[in-house]
């Protein structure tokens, strides 16, 4: 039988798997959905800008609230709001209404994010954190792998509305599970954790700067990846969903390897590796000559962009913080990354319109190198 600490990791991981399965069934082809409702590339970029602001910008107040009122309350409340968001999406008939509902969805996703990460960090002993985050990332990425398969099957037959109806059902199930099964973890500051406090500001500054530049770089291609796959690579919606699914399956299983890798080389080096490898792979992906090549390159990209990044990012912040301020630091960091990612989304859309579709992707690859260099200025690994 699971103890309360292991149960927290299990409940959060499994419910995130269910929720992310639904999200990824429509999110990976969101630009195509918005275009069906009348949006152009600039409007799609505007939507992604709002998503980035909502997702990242609300993590700071989410972290502050979490450190004051506890982790579970925000997690449960946010899950409840997902039901309303899917209800509005199921009725949306214009891109603006859909954008507002999606933005509202990501606002509460952002609010709960620091609580989820902090609850996992505080539910296990420090040596077990990479493994706990790897388990969480495995199921999260598995959800993002299964979801596109669901979208590829259901969207051509029933449209996007069927996915939103299922979203309502899954959100209700996850709300009940989180309400009844999660337990607020104890938040104790140990002597070994306290030594990080004097060095926190300088190391965190390098960390935030490197991640923020990478956030801008990743924001450049986010709103134009699906349109590029459709218009330039000539992939169908089903092929785009299948490509995404295969890539996320690769990322899901790579999360376990990511946990091992980060445990050996440290979060900082693991994160720098994810920056450079994901940037290079997305730059090569744009020259794909077939669906199979595009899928293979997307899988390589996802291994580093999702699996290695997620494990390393959360491990580094957990090592930089103590329980009393962990969620707040998660939130502050996310806000800075999000502001740059939002700027990147808008910039990427304009670059598409003003120059050629490949420019946002190539600029992404270039920017990952200074991102890694800045990050590596932080002092040695996880023993900061």
Q: Which fold has domain 4-181+196-375?
A: Growth Hormone; Chain: A; (1.20.1250)
CB atoms within 10 A of CB 256: 16
The string of pLDDT tens digits covering residues 195-240 is: 334 344 677 788 888 989 999 998 898 888 888 999 999 998 889 8
The string of pLDDT tens digits covering residues 19-78 is: 999 998 998 788 888 988 988 888 888 888 888 788 878 888 888 888 888 889 899 999
Summarize the confidence of residues 291-314 as an average pLDDT: 85
CB atoms within 10 A of CB 365: 20
Query: Where are the domains positioned within the chain?
Result: 4-181+196-375
The string of pLDDT tens digits covering residues 125-138 is: 777 777 788 788 88
The string of pLDDT tens digits covering residues 112-123 is: 988 998 898 888
Record the pTM. Answer: 0.69
Pair of tokens at residue 134: 């790897």
d(CA 351, CA 287) in angstroms, rounded, equals 18
The string of pLDDT tens digits covering residues 311-347 is: 788 777 777 666 666 777 777 787 788 788 888 888 9
């Amino acid at each position: 039988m699971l103890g309360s600490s292991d149960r927290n990791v299990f409940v959060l991981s499994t419910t995130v798997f269910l929720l992310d399965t639904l999200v990824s069934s429509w999110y990976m082809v969101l630009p195509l959905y918005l275009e069906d409702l009348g949006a152009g590339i600039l409007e799609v970029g505007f939507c992604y800008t709002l998503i980035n602001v909502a997702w990242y910008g609300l993590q700071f107040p989410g972290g502050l609230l979490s450190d004051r009122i506890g982790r579970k309350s925000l997690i449960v409340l946010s899950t409840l709001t997902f039901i309303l968001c899917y209800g509005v999406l199921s009725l949306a008939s214009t891109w603006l209404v859909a954008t507002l509902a999606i933005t509202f969805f990501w606002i509460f996703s952002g609010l709960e994010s620091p609580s989820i990460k902090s609850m996992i960090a505080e539910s296990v002993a420090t040596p077990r954190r990479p493994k706990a985050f790897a388990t969480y990332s495995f199921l999260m990425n598995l959800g993002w792998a299964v979801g596109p398969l669901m979208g590829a099957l259901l969207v051509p037959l029933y449209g996007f509305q069927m996915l939103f109806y299922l979203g309502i059902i899954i959100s209700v199930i996850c709300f009940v599970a989180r309400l009844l099964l999660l337990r607020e973890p104890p938040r104790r500051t140990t002597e070994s954790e306290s030594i990080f406090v004097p060095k926190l500001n300088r190391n965190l500054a390098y960390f935030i700067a490197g991640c923020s530049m990478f956030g801008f770089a990743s924001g450049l291609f986010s709103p134009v990846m699906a349109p590029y796959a459709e218009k330039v690579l000539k992939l169908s919606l089903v092929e785009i969903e299948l490509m995404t699914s295969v890539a996320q399956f690769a990322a899901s299983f790579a999360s376990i390897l990511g946990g091992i890798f980060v445990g050996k080389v440290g979060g900082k080096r693991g994160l720098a590796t994810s920056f450079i490898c994901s940037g290079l792979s997305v730059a090569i992906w744009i020259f794909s000559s077939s669906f199979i090549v595009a899928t293979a390159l997307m899988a390589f990209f996802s291994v580093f962009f999702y699996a290695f990044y997620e494990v390393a990012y959360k491990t580094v912040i957990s090592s930089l913080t103590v329980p009393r301020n962990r969620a707040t630091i998660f939130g502050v960091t996310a806000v800075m990354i999000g502001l740059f990612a939002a700027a990147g989304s808008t910039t990427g859309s304009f670059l598409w319109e003003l120059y050629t579709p490949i420019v946002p992707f190539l600029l992404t690859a270039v920017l990952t190198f200074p991102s890694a260099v800045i990050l590596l200025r932080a002092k040695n690994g996880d023993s900061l």
